[in-house]
Structure 1
Amino acid sequence: MQDWRKHRLTGERARPITLILVDGVSWLLAIFAGLMLRFDFSIFRIQVLSTVQVALVVLVSQLIFGYLLWLYRSRYKTGSFDEVKTMVAVVTAVLVPSWFAGLYIGYGHGIPRTALIIAAPIAFSIMGFARYIWRIKHERKLKPGKSATRTLIYGAGYAGEQTVNHLLTDAAADSLPVGFIDDDPRARNRTVRGVKVLGTIEQLREIAAETDARSLMVCIGDADAALLRRVSDLASAAGLKVMVMPTLSQILSGASKISDLREISIEDLIGRVPVRLDAGSIKGYLAGKRVLVTGAGGSIGAELCRQLTKFGVGELIMLDRDETALQDVQISIHGNGLLETRDIVLADIRDPQALASVFAQRRPEVVFHAAALKHVSTLEKYPEEAWKTNVLGTLNVLQAAQAHNIETFVNISTDKAANPTSALGHSKRVAEKLTAFTGANSQMRCISVRFGNVLGSRGSMLPTFNKLIAAGLPLTITHPEATRFFMTIPEACQLVMQAGAIGQSGEVLILDMGEPVKIIDIARRMIAQSGKNIELVYTGLRQGEKLHEELIGTGESNERPYHPKISHARVDVLDPVNLDHDEWFERLRAHSVEVV
C-alpha cells in the first residue's frame, strides 16, 4: 500500500527536474519553429550565436518565473487545470524579458521581433501536450484492476463525473466504471475519461448484458425514494447490485463526500426525501441562542440536538425524564456519557413546578417540544396517559415558556392529528390548538410541525421488522392495502428546523413526505433482502388505526409560500381555560374508528 501511495504521488506531481527539462526543450523547439515560420522555412537565415543568447535568456526566465509561481515546487497535480493556468502565467511572464532580449540582442542580427511572439504559444502547446501524456500514462497505472466489479453509473451530471474521476484514478477501488446511464437526452453523447453514456434506465437490462456489468451506482444527490424504488426494481431484474451516494444535503453540509457510496438500504427505498435547507434563515433564529429540547432522549429529540449543534447555538439544554436516553444522546454529541454537564436536565413535562424551575434557571430563548407518547395501540388502551403527557404536558411547557418570554416555540406534532381517529391523534390535535392559542395571545412565535412516520425510531416499524426477521418469526401486517408516509429522522429534523425559521405564529407547518408507501411492499422487500423464508400474517386494523394516513386535515390549506417541502395551515385555537378532560374523552369515543 505504501508503494502504491508513493507511486500515485509521483504520478500526480511529476518531479520538478523533469518538468524543467521538458519546458526547456519545449522553448528550444518553439524558438526554432518560430524562426523557421518567420523565415519561410529557410534554415540558413538563422543566426546561431544570437539565437543561443536569446534562448539562454528564455530558459533562465522560465526557470525563475516557474519557481516563483510554484510551477516547479510540486504544488499542482500534473496536467490539472490549475497547473495549466499557472503555465499561462509563466509563459506570459517569460515572454516579456525574452522579447526585450530578442530586440536588444537580435536587432540587426537575424532575429525578427515577432519570432518570440510566435514561439510562446508553440512552447505552451508542447508543454501542455507533454503533461497530458504524462498524466494519461500514470492514470492508466492507477486504474482499478481486473478484479474490480464492472459498474454502471446512473447519472452523468457533476456527481457522476466526479465518481468516475475518483474510481479511475484509484488502483485500490473495488469498482470499474464501464458506462453511464442517464435519462436526459442532452447527455446522450457525453463521455468522461472514455466512459460513455450508453442509454436510459429503461434500457438497463440490455446495457448490463452488453457491458457485463455487475453493479449500478446511483450518483444523483437528490434522488428520492420513489426514484430509488424504480431503479432498484429495474436493477434487480437486470441482476445488478445497487449502490447509492449520500443525499445532497449531507454532501453540502460536509457530513459526507460524493465518493461515500454504499449499498442501497430499505430506508433509501421508502423514506429518502432529499432536503435543501436555507441555512442562513435557520442560523438567524438559532445562532447564539439558548435552545431547550424536550424529549431530548427520544429519536426525534436526540437527532434535533445533534443537528442544532451545527448551527452555532449558544447553549443546548437537553431535557428528558429518561436518564439512560439522555446519556445516549450525550455520548453521540460529546463522546462521553458522564451526565455531569449543564446541557443535561432530568425532568418530566408532567411536572409544572419542575419545568418552571428549569426555565427560571436556564432562561432558554428557543424551545423544541418533542416529548410525547406516540404509539397508537398503547394509547388506545391507556388514553389517560395520552391526556397527561401529550395534552397537559404540552400545556405545561407552553405556560413555562410564556412565563419566561421565549422567542420561538416549535411543537412537534404528527400526521395522526389530521382528522384524528385515535387517542394519539386527538391528544396531538389538542396540543396543536393549545400552541396556536398561545401564539395568538403572547409575544412568542408558536408553531407546530406535523409529519408522519420516521424510520429507525425506537419501537417503529423497521426495527420491529428487523427483529422479527432476525428471529425467523412472521411479520405482522394490519392490512394488505395499508399505507403510511415515511421519512428518515435526519431529514425530518432538518425540515423541523427549517419550519422554525419560516413559520408564522399560530401556524401548523406540514412536511412533504413524498408518496405514501404500502407496508406490505416494505415487508416483502425486507424479506427478499434477508434471503429468509418469512411468513406474512395479517392482523386487521386495530382500534383507532387508519387504512391510509393523512397529513393535511379537512379544510386545511396546502400552500407552500417559502419552501417546496413545507405546507402552511391554520388550526382552531383552544383556550386552556376551556380544556375539559371529560369532553375530550367524549370526543375521542365519538371520533374513534370502529375496527371490523
Structure 2
Amino acid sequence: MVGWDAVSWLLALFGFLLVRHEFALSERMWVIAAAYVAAAIGLQVVGGFATHLYLGRSKVGSFDEVTSLAQIVVANSVILGATFYIAAPLFSRGIAFVMPALAFLFMAAGRWVFRMARQQDRRRRTEHPGVPALIYGAGDAGHQLAGLVDSSGDSPYSIVGFIDDDPRLRFLRVNGYRVLGRGVDLVAAARAAHAEVVVLAISQASPQLIQDVSDRCTEAGLDLVVVPPLREMISGRIDLDELRAFNVADLLGRRPIETELSEIAGYVTGKVVLVTGAGGSIGSELARQVSQLGPSKLILLDRDESALHATKLSLDGDGLLDTDDTVLCDIRDQGALCAAFARLAPEVVFHAAALKHLPMLERFPEEGWKTNVLGTLNVLECAATNGVQHFVNISTDKAADATSVLGQTKRLAERLTAWYAGETGMSFLSVRFGNVLGSRGSVLDTFRAQIERGGPLTVTDPEVSRFFMTIPEACELVLQAAAIGHPGDVLVLDMGEPVRIIDVARRLIEESGKDIQISFSGLRDGEKLHEVLLSAEERSRHTAHPLITQVSVPHLSPADVLANRLDLDDLEVPMSHQGDSSRKRIR
C-alpha cells in the first residue's frame, strides 16, 4: 500500500503535467513540481503510519479506509499548498488543487482493484461451495450477509441472487449478485437459480410475511433460514452462526423492545422487592430480570417448594433454601402472608401468583375465586398495611370482555388493585397481556408433548387466534409499565398481531419432521375465538412507551366483593349438569 500510494502521487504528477502543460515547463517549474511530489510522498507515508492506515487500522478497500485516506490527502494538500505558495512564487496553484485529487483517485482505484481481485480469487478457491441460497431482502441485512458469505472461507451458503419487494431495486447488484425479482417471484426465481435455501434477511419482518414465505418455501421444497431479530444480534451485526431455521417464535414478529433502564432502576434499585408466584414461568423470569437491577433484597414467595428451589438455583446457584429471601407460603393464607410481609418489609411487590388454566377453572370455579380473587385481596391487604410503595398485579387479556372464570376473576383482581390505589395513594396498578410462549402448560408445551406421543395435535378451531409474546419480552415490558404507570392504572402491553393457533401447530410439526395430523375439538366453555386486549367499554390512552397503553377500570372495594360472594353459585359456572347452557356471572 505504501508503494502504491507513492506511485499514485507520481502518476498524478505526470497526468496533471500532460493534460495541463503538455510537459512544457521551465526547469525551475520542473524542480518545484518534483519537490512538491517528493514532499507529498513523505507526508503521505508519515501520515499513513501515524494514523495506522498502513498498520491494518481498516480493511483494505473499505469505506473506513478510503475515508482515512482522503483525510490524509486533504491534510497534505493544505499543508503543501500553503508552504509552496509562500516559498515558491512561481508555484502553480493547479498543482495544489488538482494533483491531490488525482492522487486520491489513483490510490482508491488501486484498492478497489485489489479488493475485487481478492474477492474473485476467494470465490474461485472455495473447495466446498455452500448450499445455493436465494436471499430475500436486499437492504442492510442483505448487504451484511453478502459480505459475510464472500469473506468467509467456509460459508455454509453460496449466494445465487436476491429477492426484494422494492421495485426501485430491480436492477440492483449486491456484491455482484443480481436482484432476480420481487417477493411474488420467490419460487420461480429460486427454481431458475437452482437455489435450495431461502434466507430471509429482513431483521424486522412481520409475522404475516414470515408465515407467507414459510408456506411458499414448504410447498416448493425449499428450506427457510432467517436472520435473527435485532435484539438477538450483537450491536445489530449479523453473524453467519446466528442464522437459524424458522421457528415458532418468529411468528410473533420481531419488534425490538426498548427499555429505559434508568426509569426501571429508579423504583427497584436499592429496594426490597417481593415476587409472588416466583416459581412460575412469569414470576421466575421477573425475578431474574429484577435481580439484575440491584435490589437491596429479592424475596421469592411461592407455595410450591420445588418451583422455589428451581428459581433460586437459576438466580445464584444456591439451592440451600436456608435464607429468608425464599418464603414458602400460600397467598390464600392471609395470616401467614401478612406475617411474612411484616417480617420482611417489602417496598415493591410483583404479584404473579395465580391459577391460569381456563378449562380447569371452568370446572372448578371456586378454586379460581380462592386464588385469583381472595388470594389477590390478601396480597393487596398485606401490601397496603405494611407500607408497600409499588404494587404490580399481573393480569391477562382474558379480563377484557371476560367470558370465562379465569377472565372474570382476573378482572376482579384488577378492580381491587385500583381500589387499593385510590385508598393508599400508592402506585398500585395492573399489567395486562396475552399468552406467553414457553410458559408451563402453554400451547407450545402441549403441542410438543403431543408430537412426542405421535399426535394428533388438538386445536379447538381452525380460525382460533391468540396474542403471543415470549416470556422475557413480557417481563421486560411489565417492568417498564410499572415504571411509567400511575396509581390505579391498568396498563396493556402491545402484543403485536394475533397468531392463528393452527399456524403454530403446523410450524412445530414441520420442525419435528414427523407426519402428524391435526384434529379440531371445538371451542371449550368460556373460550373465545379471538381474544381482545380491551373491552368494548374501555378507551385506551397512550403512555410514554409506544408498546404500552393505559385504561381505567371501576374501583371495587373488598367489602363489596365479600358481601356479594356469599356462596359459589354467584360465580360464573357452566350449567351443563342441569341441561342448560346458560351461565351465571360474578357480580
Global fold match (TM > 0.5) = yes
**1:59-108 deviation line (CA, Å, top 9, x unaligned):** 22222222222222221221222222221222223234534664577656
Determine helix, strand or coil for the equivalent of 2:250.
helix
Task: Tell whether the 8 Å contact from 2:277 to 2:301 is kept in structure 1 after alignment.
Answer: yes
Q: Which residue of the other structure, out of 150, 156, 161, is the alignment partner of 1:174?
A: 156
Which is worse superposed, 451-460 or 285-294? 285-294
- Equivalent in the alignment of 1:319: 301
Q: Which amino acid aligns with 1:587?
A: D
- Equivalent in the alignment of 2:99: 119
Matched, 1:298 2:287: no
Q: Which residue of the other structure, out of 463, 475, 480, is the alignment partner of 1:498?
A: 480
Task: Tell whether the 8 Å contact from 1:300 to 1:370 is kept in structure 2 after alignment.
Answer: yes
- Equivalent in the alignment of 1:388: 370
Matches within 5 A, 1:57-206: 57-99=39-81, 102=84, 112-143=92-123, 147-206=129-188
Task: Tell whether the 8 Å contact from 1:419 to 1:553 is kept in structure 2 after alignment.
Answer: yes
Aligned-pair CA distance for 1:542: 3.7
Cα gap change, 1:278/1:406 in structure 2, threshold over 3 Å: closer, same or farther? same
Q: Which residue of the other structure, out of 552, 566, 572, is the alignment partner of 1:589?
A: 572
Task: Return 5+ residue gaps in structure 1 as ranges.
Answer: 1-18
- Equivalent in the alignment of 1:5: none
Determine helix, strand or coil for the equivalent of 1:213.
coil
Instruction: Give, in whole Å, the separation in 2 of the partners of 1:149 and 1:470.
Output: 31
- Equivalent in the alignment of 2:260: 279
Instruction: Give, in whole Å, the separation in 1 of the partners of 2:209 and 2:463.
Output: 21
Aligned-pair CA distance for 1:208: 1.0
Matched, 1:445 2:427: yes
Q: Which amino acid aligns with 2:63?
A: F
Instruction: Give, in whole Å, the separation in 1 of the partners of 2:205 and 2:399.
Output: 29
Aligned-pair CA distance for 1:52: 4.5
Instruction: Give, in whole Å, the separation in 1 of the partners of 2:127 and 2:523.
Output: 55
Aligned-pair CA distance for 1:255: 9.5
Matches within 5 A, 1:465-504: 465-504=447-486
Cα gap change, 1:371/1:64 in structure 2, threshold over 3 Å: closer, same or farther? same
* TM-score of the pair, normalised by structure 2: 0.87
Matched, 1:411 2:393: yes
Q: Which amino acid aligns with 2:361?
A: L
Aligned-pair CA distance for 1:331: 4.5
Q: Which amino acid aligns with 1:288?
A: T
Task: Return 5+ residue gaps in structure 2 as ranges.
Answer: 583-587
Aligned residues: 574
Percent of aligned pairs with the same residue?
Answer: 44
Which is worse superposed, 199-208 or 580-589? 580-589
**1:425-468 deviation line (CA, Å, top 9, x unaligned):** 22212111111111121122222222222111111111121112
Aligned-pair CA distance for 1:230: 1.5
Q: Which residue of the other structure, out of 206, 223, 235, is the alignment partner of 1:224?
A: 206
Task: Tell whether the 8 Å contact from 1:416 to 1:549 is kept in structure 2 after alignment.
Answer: yes
Instruction: Give, in whole Å, the separation in 1 of the partners of 2:52 and 2:195.
Output: 43
Cα gap change, 1:321/1:98 in structure 2, threshold over 3 Å: closer, same or farther? same
Task: Tell whether the 8 Å contact from 2:279 to 2:311 is kept in structure 1 after alignment.
Answer: yes
Q: Which amino acid aligns with 2:260?
A: A
Cα gap change, 1:365/1:248 in structure 2, threshold over 3 Å: closer, same or farther? farther
Q: Which amino acid aligns with 1:33?
A: G
Which is worse superposed, 342-351 or 225-234? 342-351
**1:487-507 deviation line (CA, Å, top 9, x unaligned):** 222332233233323333222
Task: Tell whether the 8 Å contact from 2:365 to 2:572 is kept in structure 1 after alignment.
Answer: no
Task: Tell whether the 8 Å contact from 1:479 to 1:538 is kept in structure 2 after alignment.
Answer: yes
Q: Which amino acid aligns with 2:157?
A: S
- Equivalent in the alignment of 1:237: 219
Q: Which amino acid aligns with 1:272?
A: G
Determine helix, strand or coil for the equivalent of 1:242.
strand
Task: Tell whether the 8 Å contact from 2:268 to 2:294 is kept in structure 1 after alignment.
Answer: yes
- Equivalent in the alignment of 1:348: 330
Determine helix, strand or coil for the equivalent of 1:371.
coil
Instruction: Give, in whole Å, the separation in 2 of the partners of 1:553 and 1:101.
Output: 78
Matched, 1:40 2:22: yes
* TM-score of the pair, normalised by structure 1: 0.86
Q: Which amino acid aligns with 2:420?
A: T
Aligned-pair CA distance for 1:557: 2.2
- Equivalent in the alignment of 1:25: 7
Q: Which residue of the other structure, out of 277, 288, 295, is the alignment partner of 2:269?
A: 288
Which is worse superposed, 82-91 or 416-425? 416-425
Aligned-pair CA distance for 1:207: 1.2
Q: Which residue of the other structure, out of 473, 481, 489, is the alignment partner of 1:507?
A: 489
Instruction: Give, in whole Å, the separation in 1 of the partners of 2:261 and 2:61.
Output: 38
Cα gap change, 1:487/1:592 in structure 2, threshold over 3 Å: closer, same or farther? farther
Cα gap change, 1:314/1:86 in structure 2, threshold over 3 Å: closer, same or farther? farther
Cα gap change, 1:106/1:510 in structure 2, threshold over 3 Å: closer, same or farther? closer
